[in-house]
Every structure is written in structure tokens, then in C-alpha cells.
Amino acid sequence: MCGRTACTLASDEVSRACSYRDRGGQRRQPRWRDGDADKYRPSYNKSPQSTSPVLLSQRHFDRNAPVDECVLASMRWGLVPAWFKENDPSKMAYSTNNCRSENIMEKKTYKDPLIKGQRCVILADGFYEWKRQAREKQPFFIYFPQTEGTGREKTDDDEEEDDPATSADNKENSETTCPPEEASADLTEGGEAPDEWTGWKLLTMAGLFDCWTPPGGGEPLYTYSVITVNASLNLESIHDRMPAVLDGEEEVRRWLNFGEVKSQDAIKLLQSKNSLTFHPVSSLVNNSRNNSPECLQPVDPNSKKEPKPTASSKMMMSWLASSEPSKRKEPAACESKEERDGEAEAQKTGLLHQWLQGAKKKPRTK
């Protein structure tokens, strides 16, 4: 299952982080739908019913758009089917946060959007999952391995902490939505690669979306469901399910291209993949109201004490406190309290990768 995520990049960084090549070989950054960039709120602890960045084909909104053009939208987590008759979407009688890939053609809620080609990619820094241990549950943060070339520049301290085993795993999983070696192909007049993203590699999860309009009229509501599959070998010790991860630009392209890739072929992309890494985190994340960098901090699961602030966390909080409030977005009137509380921390460039890569404790991998 997938019941909690984190997405800490600012809206412009999300666009840069999921750039893609069009059919002409030119690298492009997807734009946000009108007004949707303002609806998006970065967060270290996103729960169902919150709004997340979603990548999808522009043809869902403009039939004349190029077949390969992508667009970013803000959608609410928890699919509300177009045929839902109640005036209040919260009256859904069952959970639609996740959709099992095995049953995707058996339930009308998911079958209809799939047949219509309403496929999307949910973007996140990573997701949380809980492992049952005796009477308690240990939370883990799960994400794509961050390879050399992403995040901040490497320092001498980093080299001392390098683990040959995990480095080898990272190289094996180095294909990203925007591979550095590919991004350098399109050069500016000055010979520099335009808008090359070297920050956090976003997790790309396959999903379905639908558009519901209140029976009495009103603004359409776009919502999504995360498709899940059996857990991969390296994650099954934590939980028996995982999101269907699209690993690499080609898989993302095929999932979104509903015009050329039919549903039966797209479903074949929904496979368990051994391409994720993870580390244990604090029980702070158990409460969705907790929305701070500490939610992502690697901890020692054998210690019952809450982790003490590290030098990296102190430096980060000092940096955030000194940032200019005028550069932060004003919270929307309908914004939830937990989203407002964490927005300021999440606005800064590359907070997550600086936090994790600069931490003294190394993430655990299998």
C-alpha cells in the first residue's frame, strides 16, 4: 500500500526535475496548468486528501496538443469517480487512495479511467511505509537511490562516508527521468546544457485519475489513486505491497502516452521493481500533523529515544530561519493547517537531498 508521501521541492523545481525529451529530441520542462502551481504545497508528510503534483498528457485538456506534450497538475489524493452522485466527495463509502494492479479491470471505479486513458504519474521525493515489529510499527522512508551527479556537489567528507556496496547499487539504478548524460545533448550557444536538473531524483509512481463535478454544479475536482503491486524482494520485509514505480523516462513516456500505448500494454509496466532504497525514520511521521525535516531523518530503530538534532539538521533549521519570508508563497484560504505549517521549510532548493546526503548516519539499504 501507499498511505503517506513526501514532496518537498518548490513548484518550479518539480517542473525542472521531471523534464523530458519530445519526439524531436529536444528536452522540455512541463508547465503547470493555469493556477495549479499555486495549489501545490510542498510537504514532508503528505497524507490522503492532500494535494500532490501529478504529471499527465496535455491531450487530456487540449485534444490538439502534441501527442508527447506533458503537463503538471495539482490533484487530490483519493480518486472520486466521475459517476459519484453525492454532493460531498468525503461521503465515498470506501477508500480509493490505492488501486491494486490485479483488480484494476474488475472495479468500475478504476476500469473506467483506465479505458479512457486517464493515466498519470504521481511525483514524490519518496513514500513512507510501516513495518510491524512486536507491538509497534517502525516507519521507513523509501525512495530512488540518489546517484552521483544529483544533489549538492560532492565534498571530501562525502568520500570518507562512501559505501562501495551502496555505490554499486546506485550506479546500477542510475537511469533517471532526466539522465545527466542525455541532458547535456541539448546545448545553448554558450555550450552549456539548459536547465539540467541535478537535485533530488523524484519517485515516479503510476496512477489513475478522474474528474468529478458536483451534481449541483461547481468547480471540477481532479483526484488520483496510486496503483500498487506486490512488494519487491528488497521491500517485502517491510510490507507486502508497494507503489507501481515507473523507472526511467521511457516507462514514464509509455504510461502517459494513452493515444499510442493501449491499456493492455500499459498494464505490463506495472511490475515490482528492485530499484528503491530506504532507511528507518522517527515515529514523528506517524502523525500527519508533523511536517518538518525531522520526519525524514535516518534513525537507529534499536534506540527507543527520539533522535537528537545533528549538525546537519541544526544548520538546515538555521538556514530556513534566515530565509526571506517575502519569497514564500502566501497560504491559500482553503489550505490545511498541516500543509501551512510545513510550507516554509519545504520551499528552499534541494532541502531533502542536502538533508539526507549531509546527515552523519547513512541510509540503510538492502
Catalytic residue among 70, 99, 129, 338: 129
Pair 322, 344: CB distance under 8 Å:
no
Distance between CA 57 and CA 74 in Å, rounded? 14
Q: Which amino acid is at 5?
A: T
2 as an active site residue: the answer is yes
129 as an active site residue: the answer is yes
Pair 16, 198: CB distance under 8 Å:
no
Burial label for 57, CB within 10 Å (0-12, 13-18, 19+), is buried
Q: Which three cell numbers stand for residue 15?
A: 517542473
| Phi, psi dihedrals of residue 326, rounded to the nearest 5° | -65, -20
Parallel/antiparallel/unpaired status of strands 277-280 and 5-7: unpaired
Could you give the angle at the alpha carbon of 101 between the alpha carbons of 95 and 104, nearest 5°?
Answer: 70
Catalytic residues: 2, 129
